[in-house]
Amino acid sequence: MSLECILLGLLRTPKSGYQLKGEFDAGVAYFWPAELSQIYVTLKRLKERGWLRDRVEPSDKGPDRRVYMRTPAGRRALRAWLAGEPQVGDERFSYLAQVYFLDELGDLGATLTFLTKLRERLARRLEALRATERAWASGSPGYPDRSPPEEFHPQLTLQLGLQVGAARLAWCEESIRRVQARLARRENTPAHGS
């Protein structure tokens, strides 16, 4: 359901599947990634349902493109979704599952290695979002509090990404310190079971 509504949302102006993929990767992917093949299939379904129309146009670069645009019914569906309840659904984090069971290895050193790699990746993600923010900040007058209305809402979601990303990174670093403290304690008290 969400992918459909995101496509409807992005189609405020007419776009092709390929162009939509570009927009996903540029600004939406950090809370909703999508593959090209999935986008094409969903656009087709939306057209069959009467929420989108399409038209084939020559491209300025490359072969012809199939350009989609919202119908009035599509716009109504989008607005109904936006006016409805916040969809707070399930979340799945494989790396947390790994941390949860890491005791199984019986080696705090392995935990430390794991968390160090994780910190690297979390930091990279956060840095990518910070780069996006810098782009907004330099290209948008009065960022963030006087941004024009059509930029305000996307910027809100970016703020969440930044704050949650920072919280995750901070947790990872704190966890590394806690593991190190445990390792240090163990070295100082090696004869635990004697």
Partner DNA sequence: CTCGCCATGTAATGAGTTACATGATTTA
Partner DNA sequence: TAAATCATGTAACTCATTACATGGCGAG
Least distance (Å) from DNA to the CB of residue 32?
A: 7
Binding segment for its own copies (CB under 8 A), chosen from 15-23, 36-44, 57-65, 149-157, is 149-157
Residue 121 in the binding site for its own copies (CB under 8 A)? yes
SS (H, E, C) the chain: CHHHHHHHHHCCCCEEHHHHHHHHHHHHCCCCCCCHHHHHHHHHHHHHCCCEEEEEECCCCCCCEEEEEECHHHHHHHHHHHHCCCCCCCCCCHHHHHHHHHHHHCCHHHHHHHHHHHHHHHHHHHHHHHHHHHHHHHHCCCCCCCCCHHHHHHHHHHHHHHHHHHHHHHHHHHHHHHHHHHHHHHHHCCCCCC
Contacts with DNA by CB under 7 A lie at 1-3, 16-19, 33-38, 40-44, 59-67, 90, 92
Among positions 12-41, residues that touch its own copies (CB under 8 A) are 12, 28, 30-33
Q: Which is nearer to its own copies, 134 or 186 (CB)?
A: 186
Q: Footprint of its own copies on this chain (CB under 8 A)?
A: 1-2, 5-6, 9, 12, 28, 30-33, 78-79, 81-83, 85-105, 108, 110-111, 114, 117-118, 121-122, 125, 145, 149-150, 152-154, 156-157, 159-160, 163-164, 166-168, 170-171, 174-175, 178, 181-182
